[in-house]
């Protein structure tokens, strides 16, 4: 693999990307197993016929994607599995940058969460049920503490997802939930919806505890529909694109702000003039 000059590479990916993609393909195919140590930068450079600087850029890209890691900050590199939170954060960023509407997020959760709750009713372990019951107890005690209530709501839905035992479903929902559930803060502060949340969570936990998949699905669907109703009653725009959650105020939960009408008009005007 020869190095491309700047001019020659103008219409192609840089060489380091090609090196990274080749190593990635070997990892995904199993040719390089998780936990296996990679060759040194010098050896990789010799194998591909490129400079070490190119290899360093390729490795940096693989590290960012969670496919390789260094142990205790050392120089040796090992094949790794990307963390779920790392994957979710990248997918959530793509959702925001593509200007996905909050209504679309709601639609996705309306499909996913009832199915996940039904599965949890069939598979949840005693440990998950105990954690859900602890979450319910604290929720009942924190109905007037909305920042903590938002955290408990997110934790509740994460526990239900864990209870499903379905990793594919968990990976699908994680980036959406990172943007969806923090928005509950806008609903609860405007409508005092804590008691409705507690009622729905209680019925869902009862269904999961008793293994009643039908009721778990039914009450989760009601819960998600009720969330939309509260969002609209709070005069929030379901059709506005979701923005990245704020994390700059310790006293506020992570809330995905929506673009203002003025921002939206400006964006459309720029798109029309492009």
Give me the CATH number covering residue 68: 1.10.10.10
Least confident of 7-11, 36-40, 181-185, 234-238: 7-11
Is the pLDDT at 249 greater than 80? The verdict is no
For 96-119, write each residue's pLDDT tens digit: 999 999 999 999 999 999 999 999
Q: Looking at the structure, tell me whether residues 75 and 91 fall in a common domain.
A: no
Q: How many structural domains comprise the chain?
A: 2
Which of 79, 95, 126 is at the close of a domain? 79
**Mean pLDDT, residues 4-13:** 48
Counting residues of the chain whose pLDDT is more than 90, the rounded percentage is: 57
Quickly state the pLDDT bin for 262 (edges 50, 70, 90): very low
Which of 52, 79, 106 is at the close of a domain? 79
Q: What is the mean pLDDT of the chain?
A: 84
Least confident of 2-16, 139-153, 199-213, 251-265: 251-265
Quote the CA–CA distance of 155 and 181 in Å, as a whole number. 10
Quote the CA–CA distance of 146 and 193 in Å, as a whole number. 10
Q: Looking at the structure, tell me whether residues 240 and 109 fall in a common domain.
A: yes
Is the pLDDT at 89 greater than 90? The verdict is no
Which of 51, 79, 107 is at the close of a domain? 79
180 in a structural domain: yes
DSSP string, the chain: -PPPPTTGGGGS--HHHHHHHHHHHHHHHTSS-TTPBPPPHHHHHHHHT--HHHHHHHHHHHHHTTSEEEGGG-S-EEE-PPPHHHHHHHHHHHHHHTT-BHHHHHHHHHHHHHHHHHHHHHH--HHHHHHHHHHHHHHHH-TT-HHHHHHHHHHHHHHHHHHHT-HHHHHHHHHHHHHHGGGHHHHHHHH--HHHHHHHHHHHHHHHHHT-HHHHHHHHHHHHHHHHHHHHHTT--TTSBEEEEP-S-TTS---EEE--HHHHHHHHHHHHH-
Q: Looking at the structure, tell me whether residues 33 and 139 fall in a common domain.
A: no
Is the pLDDT at 261 greater than 80? The verdict is no
Is the pLDDT at 271 greater than 50? The verdict is no
Q: Looking at the structure, tell me whether residues 169 and 124 fall in a common domain.
A: yes
- Give the per-residue pLDDT at 217: 98
Q: Looking at the structure, tell me whether residues 243 and 150 fall in a common domain.
A: yes
Q: Looking at the structure, tell me whether residues 73 and 90 fall in a common domain.
A: no
Q: Looking at the structure, tell me whether residues 27 and 101 fall in a common domain.
A: no
- Give the per-residue pLDDT at 147: 87
3 in a structural domain: no
Q: Provide the CATH number for the domain around residue 189.
A: 1.20.120.530
Least confident of 5-9, 16-20, 36-40, 62-66: 5-9
Domain extent, residue 210, equals 85-268
For 11-36, write each residue's pLDDT tens digit: 456 899 999 999 999 998 999 999 99
Q: Looking at the structure, tell me whether residues 43 and 137 fall in a common domain.
A: no
8 in a structural domain: no
Q: Is 180 exposed, middle or buried (0-12, 13-18, 19+ CB in 10 A)?
A: buried
- Give the per-residue pLDDT at 221: 97
Q: Looking at the structure, tell me whether residues 74 and 189 fall in a common domain.
A: no
């Amino acid at each position: 693999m020869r190095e491309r000059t700047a001019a020659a590479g103008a219409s192609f990916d840089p060489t380091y990307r090609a090196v990274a993609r080749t190593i990635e393909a070997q990892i995904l195919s199993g040719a390089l197993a998780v936990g296996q140590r990679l060759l040194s930068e010098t050896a990789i450079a010799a194998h591909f016929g490129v400079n070490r600087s190119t290899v360093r850029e390729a490795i940096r890209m693989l590290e960012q994607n969670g496919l390789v890691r260094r142990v205790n900050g050392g120089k040796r590199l090992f094949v790794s599995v990307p963390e779920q939170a790392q994957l979710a954060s990248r997918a959530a960023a793509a959702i925001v940058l593509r200007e996905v509407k909050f209504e679309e997020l709601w639609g996705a959760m309306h499909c996913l969460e009832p199915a996940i709750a039904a599965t949890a009713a069939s598979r949840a372990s005693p440990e998950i049920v105990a954690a859900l019951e602890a979450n319910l107890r604290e929720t009942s005690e924190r109905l007037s503490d909305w920042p903590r209530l938002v955290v408990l709501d997110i934790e509740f839905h994460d526990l239900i997802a864990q209870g499903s035992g379905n990793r594919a479903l968990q990976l699908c929902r994680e980036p959406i939930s990172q943007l969806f559930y923090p928005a509950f803060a806008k609903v609860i502060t405007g409508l005092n919806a804590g008691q409705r949340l507690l009622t729905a969570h209680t019925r869902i936990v009862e269904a999961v505890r008793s293994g009643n998949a039908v009721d778990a699905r039914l009450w989760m669907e009601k819960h998600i529909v009720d969330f939309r109703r509260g969002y609209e009653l709070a005069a929030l725009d379901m059709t506005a694109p979701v923005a990245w959650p704020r994390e700059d105020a310790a006293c506020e939960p992570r809330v995905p702000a929506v673009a203002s009408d003025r921002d939206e008009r400006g964006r459309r005007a720029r798109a029309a003039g492009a």
